[in-house]
Structure 1
Amino acid sequence: MVYVFWIISLLFLYYFLEKRKKNRINELINLIENMKKQNYKIPMKQDDFSILEDEIYKLFIEIVEAKETSTKNSEKQIEYLEDIAHQIKTPITSMLFSIENLEMDFPDNEDVEILKRQTLRLNSLSDILLKLSSLDANKDLMKKEEIRLDELVDYALDSLNLKRFTNVEIDKSLKGNSIYGDFYWLAEALINIFKNADNRPTCDKIVVSSYKNPLYTSLIIKDNGGGIKKENMKKIFKRFYKTPDSNGFGIGLAMAKTIVEKNNGEISVKNENDGASFEIKFYNVT
């Protein structure tokens, strides 16, 4: 009987300790979940788990503080970027005015033409920096409105000055498809994709088409500009990345990607036949 009682006591003790351990583990899980909800109240128990509890609490507080510091630094950088872009606008405007006067006095001077071209390029860069700062600073910047794809593409093309010999073919499929998003920001994204195609020396044709399935509505922009080199395929959407033959700033496609993603979409690219094919998928969620 003594042995039986001893075994039963051990089993009961084991059960008690296991149950206590599981309860404390659940309490630790609840502690982490509460801290995720910004409830930083820590239980005041003293047992074998207390040290682990204290360390979890300290680590979480350090992560929160580091995140807040990082967010503040990012916000300051965005403010500085926007301020710099605004500041350089004033001298650029003054320079363009002076260049117009020089053009009147020296209409055939090649140096004046070069100066004007570079100043306009600088002006474009300041506009791009302002747009980037707006995208980075505002998480809820995008509107949610119904957009017809044919109207969106027409608006983007009307805002561009494509090469004279570039032929743009718009498939009839665009007329029947609509998406939800911010019209003017998405037009900005398309403008950058069209520019990327038109800037390729051999590109003289751009084809725009669309299709829809239960999951998403797709917009496809194909060109015959020779395609993208394999080593550049994964880099072209990175900010400030430029291919050796590019005349841009390396911002357009990165900006297009950011805009599309902020409008509940995704963008991808592949080589097809004699050029590149960009596909934008807008998921059917309003």
Structure 2
Amino acid sequence: MCKIDGCFTSGWSFDESQHELKNRYQMVNIGILLSTAGLIYGIIGNYIRGLHILIPIELVVLFMNIMMFFALRKYRNFFEFFAITITIQYTFLFLFLIYVSDPDDLKHLWIFTYPIILLYFQKTLKAIYWLIFILFMLIIAPFQTFIEIQYSVFQISYISFVLIIVSIIIYFYKKKIDEAKATILEQQNMLKNFNIELERQVKDKTTQLIKLNESLEIKVEQKLEELRKKDQILEMQSKQAVMGEMISMIAHQWRQPLSNITLQIANLQLKHMLDKERRCKDVDDALGNISDTIIYLSDTVDDFQTYFRPNKEMVTIEIHELFQRALNFVQSRVQDSEIKISIKKDNQIVLKIYINELIQVILNILNNAIDAHNEVKPKEPFIVMSATSDDEYIYISITDNAGGISEEHLVHLFEPYYSTKSKNGTGLGLYMSKMIIEKQFGGEIDVQTSNSGSIFIIKIQKNID
């Protein structure tokens, strides 16, 4: 289809503003082809009928058609010249049919195609001039004395009248077509402009969205940084709260060993006053006791120093050894009470974790259980630490019989700054415990409670990558 269309436009391309010129190119090419076909038919017909006098004229016109057909494809700037040439050719051909043909041959019918040729070969004003010219030549045909014509005045008048009517009809038809094409072209331009404007708006909106996304990314990053700082502050506050409890434990735990050291020294001084000649064995025993006590105090300091060390190291440890370290921290809080803290060991469980963080979680739960026992004072109070495992996870359970947790407190138990201890609690212990288990251990912490007591269950991975 495109090749056929290219043939009728002489192989030239046209933009949207040259729509009318494209139509004229098409009609000129169609006119040449149809004229050529008519000439070939006429040459054959005249040869058969023996009218050899018309054949040379038809051959000349045929040659001109062929030359113009190919010239249109090479010389685009000469289109108007070719259009005028073909218009002259058709004009004199139609006049020739009227002047020399017989009305019975009906060759004059071809003249009614003339308005179509004019309106597409020439612009409207020039087409009117050509139409006036051919009408004038038709009207004077019966009255001129140079050529004897076969048509009467009435026949010529009738042909002229019909030619005018056909020209008017074709003119308005073409006008309507041109208006429709103009409207379509206008709509296409509007649609094109609309698409351009839409593309611009989309581009602007896309740019705005990109900037908004960049702004949001910056704000999200800032908020995340604020949350990280907040978590660091909460962690620090939690550590400081635990540190305060630890210092109290240290003071309580050191009181008896220091008293023992003081007593040993006093005994040595007393013996020195009563017996100038001290026995070496007594001195050695006293110094030995003092040395053991100092070593115990040093070990205690090492435990607390390890706990508050800022750097994090992954350490492989057996879970019950970790329970024992946590128990050592809180032992001083329960040594003068009836609370019994025990470690239930069914099998050996080895894990690789951040020791200090897990100890902090266990200490928070142990201290809360001790506080609950001191407040409720149940008969035969106890706290039991135990652990089980499967191929991937370890489940730590800390059970007490301190009367359980009320529904009112249970729903807020892991919220920051929420405490059941009034002014004596920071409300950060369980919140930080939950954060540590979830974020650093990829696990979960949950609580089961009843009127008899509570069970805190900690689920963590055996090995943290």
TM-score class, shorter-chain normalisation, is 0.5 to 0.7
Q: Displacement, 1:180?
A: 2.3
Aligned to 1:183: 355
Q: 1:257 aligns with which of 431, 434, 437?
A: 434
- 2:389 is aligned with 1:219: no
CA contact (8 A) 1:220 1:279 kept: yes
Task: Tell me which protein shows more helix as a share of its residues.
Answer: 2
Q: Displacement, 1:73?
A: 4.5
Q: Displacement, 1:66?
A: 0.8
Q: 1:228 aligns with which of 405, 408, 412?
A: 405
The Cα offsets for residues 182-210 of structure 1, whole Å up to 9 and x where unpaired, read as: 11221121111100000012352111121
Q: Displacement, 1:280?
A: 0.4
Q: 1:146 aligns with which of 291, 301, 316?
A: 316
Aligned to 1:68: 221
The Cα offsets for residues 192-249 of structure 1, whole Å up to 9 and x where unpaired, read as: 1100000012352111121112341100001000111112113121221012567322
Aligned to 1:168: 341
SS of aligned partner of 1:257: helix
- 2:207 is aligned with 1:54: yes
Report matched runs for 1:93-104 at 5 Å. Answer: none
- 2:446 is aligned with 1:268: yes
Work out the number of aligned pairs and report it: 190
Task: Tell me which protein shows more strand as a share of its residues.
Answer: 1
Q: Displacement, 1:143?
A: 3.1
TM-score, normalised via structure 2 length:
0.36
Closer/same/farther in 2, CA of residues 266 and 74 from structure 1, 3 Å limit: closer
Query: In 1, distance between residues paired with 2:429 and 2:452?
Result: 22
Query: In 1, distance between residues paired with 2:233 and 2:421?
Result: 30
Letter in 1 for 2:209: I
Query: In 1, distance between residues paired with 2:329 and 2:449?
Result: 26
Q: Displacement, 1:168?
A: 1.6
User: Which moved further from structure 2: 56-65 or 147-156?
Assistant: 56-65
Closer/same/farther in 2, CA of residues 186 and 75 from structure 1, 3 Å limit: closer
CA contact (8 A) 2:405 2:450 kept: no
Q: Displacement, 1:49?
A: 4.9
CA contact (8 A) 1:169 1:206 kept: yes
Query: In 2, distance between residues paired with 1:165 and 1:277?
Result: 20
Q: 1:207 aligns with which of 384, 388, 391?
A: 384
The Cα offsets for residues 67-110 of structure 1, whole Å up to 9 and x where unpaired, read as: 23334555676888979x99xx9xxxxxxxxxxxxxxxxxxxxx
Closer/same/farther in 2, CA of residues 284 and 276 from structure 1, 3 Å limit: same
CA contact (8 A) 2:393 2:460 kept: yes
Letter in 2 for 1:177: I
Query: In 2, distance between residues paired with 1:199 and 1:249?
Result: 13
CA contact (8 A) 1:218 1:281 kept: yes
CA contact (8 A) 1:270 1:278 kept: yes
Which structure has the bigger radius of gyration? 2
TM-score, normalised via structure 1 length:
0.56
- 2:456 is aligned with 1:278: yes
SS of aligned partner of 1:153: helix
Unmatched runs of 5 consecutive residues or more in structure 1: 2-45, 90-130, 135-140
Letter in 1 for 2:340: N
SS of aligned partner of 1:199: helix
Letter in 1 for 2:435: T
Query: In 1, distance between residues paired with 2:385 and 2:228?
Result: 38
SS of aligned partner of 2:333: coil
Query: In 1, distance between residues paired with 2:449 and 2:458?
Result: 15
Closer/same/farther in 2, CA of residues 246 and 271 from structure 1, 3 Å limit: farther
Query: In 2, distance between residues paired with 1:179 and 1:265?
Result: 14
Letter in 2 for 1:278: F
Q: 1:196 aligns with which of 335, 357, 368?
A: 368
Query: In 1, distance between residues paired with 2:318 and 2:326?
Result: 13
SS of aligned partner of 1:176: coil
Query: In 2, distance between residues paired with 1:214 and 1:169?
Result: 26
Aligned to 2:424: 247
Letter in 1 for 2:213: F
